[in-house]
Amino acid sequence: MSRRLVVSALGVAQILAWGSSYYLPAVLAKPIATDTGWSLTWVVGALSAGLLASGIVSSVTGGLIQRKGGRPVLMAGAVLLASGLTVMGLAPNLPVYFLAWVLMGIGMSASLYDAGFGTLGRLYGRDARSAITSLTLFGGFASTVCWPLSAFLVEHVGWREACFTYAGIQLALSLPMFFLFVPPAQPAAKLVDAGEAPTRDLQVPRSTFALLA
């Protein structure tokens, strides 16, 4: 399969994953607090619970990508994000809202940059550096694309339905893209025999992140 197609599919999925998780409170936090009466501090702070959950499971996610390849992990991430977004849209109280973010955090560990970089490294070894840089640049468009989309959804259908819409996007777009356009990885032993570099040796140039700042 064409590397350009793989990177493009992963790039679109990155935009959708960042927009429906990490960047979501930027637009939805105030409408959620206004509608529910929950403290805005707690509404925004729930993202920290998601980031904590993501960090806790990140080593497990990385190990799964190394052993099984990125496709099944990314697909699981899309399902987890969709599940968390659905729970968030249904949340009747703050504890359930926090639970939604924990689910989304686990999904973020299998959907955002680390999972994408690991997938490319697992597929292409040392040759993945340029693909990783391209994927990083794709992700930089997440706020540009998804903030207006989130604002449009909140204005026209409400924040809960916006969560359901993003859940549907994960299942209807990201999930099939991973299945169709991310090839299965070779067994790890074959990569070692072929002299491919392990994923941890791959680094994104600092200049790439400077462009996104």
- In tens, the pLDDT along 3-17 reads 999 999 999 999 999
pLDDT of 91 strictly over 90: yes
* Average confidence (pLDDT) over 156-185: 97
pTM of the model: 0.86
Nearest to 61 by CA among 108, 100, 21, 101: 108
Is residue 16 within a helix (H) or strand (E), and if so which, with residue range? Answer: helix 3-19
Instruction: Count how many domains the chain has.
Output: 1
Please give the residue range of the domain that contains residue 141. 3-212
pLDDT of residue 206: 44
**Tokens of residue 193, six digits:** 């025999």
Give 186's pLDDT tier (boundaries 50, 70, 90).
Answer: confident
Check: CB of residue 89 under 8 Å from CB of residue 131.
Answer: no
User: Considering the chain, what is the average pLDDT of its residues?
Assistant: 90
pLDDT of 36 strictly over 60: yes
Burial of 38 (0-12, 13-18, 19+ CB in 10 A): middle
Separation between Cα atoms, residue 38 and residue 33, nearest integer Å = 5
pLDDT of residue 190: 56
CATH at 114: 1.20.1250.20
pLDDT per residue over 44-57, tens digit each? 999 999 999 999 99
Give 187's pLDDT tier (boundaries 50, 70, 90).
Answer: confident
The DSSP call for residue 93 is S
- Degrees (nearest 5) of the Cα angle 1, 202, 170? 55
pLDDT of residue 211: 44
Nearest to 167 by CA among 1, 61, 9, 20: 20
pLDDT of residue 189: 52
Burial of 78 (0-12, 13-18, 19+ CB in 10 A): buried
The DSSP call for residue 200 is G
pLDDT of 208 strictly over 70: no
